Structure 1
Amino acid sequence: MRPTEFPQPLDTLMVATCNVLNLANPGRLFYENQDPYSQTEFERKITWLGERFRALNADVLAVQEVWDDAAFKGALGRGGMRYDFVVVPGAENNDTQHGAQGTPRVGLATRLKVEAVQSFADFPPGFQVDVPGIGQHTRFERPPLVATLRMKHGQTFNVLTAHLKSKRPKFLQDALGQPTEDRDDRKVVALASLRSLIMRGAEAMALRCLVIDLLHRTSVPLVVLGDFNDTPDSVTTQLICATNDIAYDRTARDVALFNAYDLQGDFALKKDVAYSHIHQGAPYVLDQILVSEEFLPNGRNSVGDVRRVDYFNDHLHEGRDRTRSDHGFVRALLRLKLPSPPPAQSASPSPTDATAPSNIPR
């Protein structure tokens, strides 16, 4: 038997991550320095996104840069996609809420049964980080979202959607949003870039803490996906994954993450098109899908594998247009073993807490 083959049937699971580039309702100001979308622009944007969502056809669709959940739902509908569960915490549109304010949010759409969902804004106690000129960085700019999902045959897994701080320099501003630093001074630019790095590193550290809470001494698989604003080999991504720790600590595998692209099966079609963003003409992988050890083909605790990872990035060569996206979309085909049948006589399961994802301390 090949190492990547399982002796029993597997369920397939398609997951995808999409940075949708400022998805907002028409006429709604989202950034002070950008004009709102006209109705025509908005129609073009949700039509374009709808077509991409239909092509992805994911069971779990994670999105970043959503200002209005109504716009996200509109794009799903425009693509003819039906998802029973759609959520973008902090970007709701209703009688009392008018979308995200200050910064866009991450969201999730899924066809699977949702056992629990929770958004995390604050860093764990004691894990705040000082940023020069700003003070303590204590919370995510865009809170990550964790959901516990159940597949049709009963397999449970957690999915974490994130969007880390960008590399754009973080300049100081006054209460009215006016700059208080000389942005033409290259030394000031260097300090502002350091602020962004520290903030992204702090968010990566806090995300790592969340990953540990989800994985430590549990067999529930975890999929982490989103826009990391850094490459797979970067310090921040490796901080989240902690894969290198396995070389000298056998117990580290329990809480490590692995890049799905590196775990693809033997029959995966691989070629040099694995990038999700182009900056100054150079391709980068910023949008990533990471998985826990349960998806390792030869892992001691394997319950599945990564069959294929695809990059939908042709539109990055079509020119900049805010009615599209400046990020490629990434999709992974995962497989999970069917659960073993229960014993003939077993104790009744305990009631499930449906307010928080499994294995997260309350």
Structure 2
Amino acid sequence: MSNSRDLTVASFNLLNLQLPNTAMYPNTRRYTPEIYNQKLTWTANIIKQLDADIIGFQELWSAKCLVDVFEKANLSDDYTLVFIKDPDAGADLPNWDGIAVAMAVRKPWQVENWKRHKDFPEELLLNKRDRSLQELQNNPDLVDETEDEDLDSAHEDEEIHVDIKKFSRSPLEVILKNADRDDVPNFHVFCAHFKSKRGSRLDREEYHHPTIDFKSHKDALGAGLSTIRRTAEATALRIILNKIMKDTNTPVIVLGDLNDGQFSNTLAILSNQPDFRWYADSTAAASNNRNDTGLFPAINLQQLRSLKDTYYSHEYKNVPEVIDHVLASEEFYDYSNSRFWSFRDMHILNDHTDDHGKDKIKSDHGVVRVRFDWNKAEDE
């Protein structure tokens, strides 16, 4: 058994784990009891293979399903399950409107608190006013005082207003402690599932508009809606993270199906693009303002030490890429002065993605597992 302070985390998209004979999406075939049992068995085997302390799940329709999985794996006594709704609040295990995220936490790690984030934080304001360059030149105080003296970046933005107030799928925040070790700090783990790249469907009002031909442009409009929502969700979660991470040494992990690659705008916003250390004397990864709130993508940490570049967790339109992520704060980064853990390795279980099948027994996503070794900076 590993050191009780070591930490293994994983992200697992369950691909519509729902109870048998129970509705999912309008055009999705319901599972038979036989298919449901096969899906439980396959999912339980993956969980045992992961051997992870913390597992974040996506695409869960019912809490009862995850309870069934851990019973099937004979791991119910080892893990605490955390959902976006409290099972103790009612007589039955909760369901929710659509798919949701959840988390499993293994002893000795213990849930101190948890929170569902549905509403965007009040600071999330995607608004920009239309002002001429002359107006900005005459009144430079109309823009952020931290802007560069060059007003190009202020003038390039014409009027923008994006009105999104909620996450389409609520992120789950869980605060964890080590029940066996007082020297291990409490830390926050977020499980998220952002809007996919698949275009949103137009509402009936636009699709059948009497005078404007929205229908001919539904692919472009749908893709635009999806991208705007995913970007807004990344921004909202980044604001939530800033409040926890700024000027603190609070360890934070974000994991989940973020539906974008590590070099996307989505990940750039969410990670805050921390500095990596490229040579021994570099001070880039030392504690500074950017790394204070930055998150290091595990896929980048793995690729920096790997001779192969064959990592992928999902394939969309025949393009394989990593869209299921584990992001870790500087308290998990090898070269940080604030380090408690160091990155050991990342592994993606993805052999099953080629044959997940019409019955959806297997997931169409690879399962990402990342290991961190307890390695406090002051212990060196």
Q: TM-score, normalised by structure 1?
A: 0.81
Q: Select the structure of larger CA radius of gyration.
A: 2
Name the residue aligned to 1:4: none
| Aligned partner of 2:290 among 240, 244, 252 | 252
Name the residue aligned to 1:147: 174
Do the aligned partners of 2:271 and 2:296 also contact (CA within 8 Å) in 1? Answer: yes
Higher helix share: 2
Separation in 1, partners of 2:208, 2:243:
40
- SS of residue paired to 2:163: strand
Name the residue aligned to 1:86: 81
| 298-307 vs 51-60, which moves further | 298-307
Separation in 2, partners of 1:23, 1:183:
38
Do the aligned partners of 1:10 and 1:338 also contact (CA within 8 Å) in 2? Answer: no
Separation in 2, partners of 1:44, 1:183:
46
Name the residue aligned to 1:304: 341
**Gap regions ≥5 residues in structure 2:** 128-160, 277-283
Superposed counterparts of 1:58-207, under 5 Å: 58-82=52-76, 83-90=78-85, 95=91, 99-101=95-97, 103-111=98-106, 112-129=109-126, 136-151=163-178, 152-154=180-182, 155=184, 156-174=186-204, 180=208, 185-207=215-237
Q: What are the superposed Cα offsets for residues 89-138 of structure 1, whole Å, 9 maximum, x if unpaired?
A: 1496964665121x2110001112111111110101142558xxx97210
Q: TM-score, normalised by structure 2?
A: 0.78
**What amino acid sits opposite 1:33 in the alignment?**
N
- Relative to 1, partners in 2 of residues 1:97 and 1:135: Cα closer, same or farther, differing over 3 Å? farther
Name the residue aligned to 1:318: 355
Separation in 2, partners of 1:80, 1:307:
28
- SS of residue paired to 2:174: strand
Q: What are the superposed Cα offsets for residues 315-337 of structure 1, whole Å, 9 maximum, x if unpaired?
A: 01225341111100000011224
What is the CA-CA distance between 1:179 and the residue it aligns to? 5.5
Separation in 2, partners of 1:333, 1:126:
34
Q: What are the superposed Cα offsets for residues 188-213 of structure 1, whole Å, 9 maximum, x if unpaired?
A: 22012101111111001001011111
What is the CA-CA distance between 1:73 and the residue it aligns to? 1.3
Do the aligned partners of 1:265 and 1:307 also contact (CA within 8 Å) in 2? Answer: no
Name the residue aligned to 1:44: 38
What is the CA-CA distance between 1:270 and the residue it aligns to? 5.8
Separation in 1, partners of 2:13, 2:194:
12
Name the residue aligned to 1:356: none
Separation in 2, partners of 1:85, 1:205:
30
Separation in 2, partners of 1:333, 1:245:
21
Name the residue aligned to 2:137: none
2:283 is aligned with 1:287: no
Identity of aligned residues (%): 29
- Relative to 1, partners in 2 of residues 1:52 and 1:91: Cα closer, same or farther, differing over 3 Å? farther
Q: Whose relative contact order is higher, 1 or 2, with alpha carbons under 8 Å and at least 6 apart?
A: 1
**What amino acid sits opposite 1:140 in the alignment?**
F
Separation in 2, partners of 1:79, 1:174:
44
